[in-house]
Chain A
């Protein structure tokens, strides 16, 4: 037995000896971060997005952030600056105003990634924006921003801003689930990908949905309800309910749940939020906000 132990010790020792050549560790990390010289816009972003909210606003193309299923291109520099102002003034500042900076810091997406074109599918349709894991929002079609800005609030919302509110709603839902009874109200009406086809693409109101895309699923419905409600005027909402006829009661019942959910969980009154967003949209459309100014105040 003793000999056995000696032999074992010898073996262990000689194994240890394998590491006898001591190598000094290189103090330099092998991981290198690509350094890009900061321009004035980068500095502005640091002051307005990174420092206060820890939001990374990526306006330069990065392979790893892009969806390789689509052919796309980088965003224009000047339009990226405008988009940054719009995200800040219409979204970040709106939530700050209504729910407080802590709310925005905690829940608002931590990364924006801009691309110049839409993500076109091979059937000619295209994707406006997507959200990933409650953290990142992709904004596409930035190179068309001027055209839609000129066209007014509706176009601006349709192509960009409503998308942000819509995706942000998903993030809130991932943090706090919405009540299960929501999906029962128009439970039979969810048709997945068929929402864009006839008759669903035209008869959504009569079926109790605020938009065609609402019919995709209860999760999308919830996000559409909130994002449409807060980016449209009260008159628009009333007109849609009128068109919905008998089914207006379903939309209203769902809106009540949305309203309650936002209030109970985040202390947000969606009517106040709608007013704030409307006022701010008005400012942008009237040209009261300098969207190109990147001086640091």
Chain B
């Protein structure tokens, strides 16, 4: 009986406890369902995207941790399409469809191919992760002044800012491209607030490196702007915070109006025009072999042509404006039937590995002691320190076939230096 009472009491207690929920007034925090709110958000996004009459400037940072620095895009949205402009192609714009969807929250997806918008996301045999670029973005915030998005792959922030009303997109991206061509400050120094700084501009990977003292370094990925450059995040040094720097080409200085950094050229800097001429090309370690070669400026005025290595081909060299050096990369120099023949970077000192990746190759730079031009590995391709060159045949899918003997000597082993005649 006692047990029964206890049970009864327990049941009543349980009933009372559960009846409480009846009194509780459960109001929805939001008036609409989550999916409805998401839909409203996307509708806001669409009207904001299409509402910017002059389009948007997109700050595009591919790669984890902004590994490649930033690139400038200009985007115009209509209801169904986006038209893209970019500094990577200043002659064309491309239109393609886009989609606003909800797979990871609110998402903007460029879901039909566009040569510009998918440039940094396009993989290849040599780069299966591509350059880590994004084409699907989670929306973080929307306003008519700024849209912030998170790249799904890179987890970088991609920012859209409205274009100024008087700017033309092609003109804008051309100015940005010109800025990247013209900047000659490979190194810089100056004082920011109360802090003396020396630093470097990594033109290949688009980053500013501030050396504050022997141990402290600030690394700031940046993109070029028509006026100079803009860092990925605001940089704090010596009590100053800055993100935009103007670059004054004629004085080679950076400034934000408060402080000034003086750009410098490296000591071994060679102006573009000074490479032209005839040279003796010494190779094979002890310099027992040589060739007569010529360096001639190319038509575009952006690089050089190296001739004389072999009558069957010439080599294209880029000019690195920041460092004042020529860049000799692995490249296709001809064909055997349908098969490309590549002059490939070769590492004889470490066992003879070779690659036809255009990341591999060497600089041609002034030796201050001898006055000759030396060769130095680019340091951009892991595992190969270029000290030699070799002709290599590949098939149309760029799979290696073997050393190519069709033009006689196929090897330039242990390259030494170029001596002006």
Contacts and interface: CB of A to CB of B under 8 A. Distances in A.
Interface stretch (A68-76, A200-208, A238-246, A275-283): A68-76
Contacts, number: 123
Contacts of A122: 128
Nearest to A126: B125
B153 to A, nearest CB: 7
The secondary-structure label for the interface of chain B is mixed
Contacts of B170: none
A286 interface: no
B257 to A, nearest CB: 41
Contacts of A70: 123, 128
Most buried by A among B21, B102, B113, B124: B113
Contacts of A34: 99-102
Interface residues of A, number: 48
Contacts of A103: none
A297 interface: no
Nearest to B79: A37
A71 B126 CA distance: 13
B118 A74 contact: yes
Contact of A61 (B100, B109, B129): B109
A18 B18 contact: yes
The secondary-structure label for the interface of chain A is loop
Contacts of B153: 71
Contacts of B26: 21
Nearest to B152: A63
A272 interface: no
A17 interface: yes
B317 to A, nearest CB: 27
Contacts of A20: 22
Most buried by B among A3, A34, A37, A76: A34
Interface string B101-125: 1111000011111000010011111
Contacts of A287: none
Interface residues of B, number: 48
B123 A74 contact: no
A183 B413 CA distance: 53
Nearest to A61: B111
A159 B118 CA distance: 22
Contact of A116 (B21, B38, B118): B118
Interface of A: 3-4, 7-8, 10-11, 13-15, 17-21, 26, 28, 30-32, 34, 36-37, 39, 59-64, 70-77, 80, 116-118, 120-122, 124-126, 143
21 contacts: A4-B7, A7-B8, A7-B12, A26-B33, A30-B34, A32-B36, A39-B97, A61-B111, A61-B136, A62-B111, A71-B123, A71-B128, A71-B130, A73-B130, A74-B113, A77-B96, A77-B113, A120-B123, A121-B128, A124-B126, A126-B125
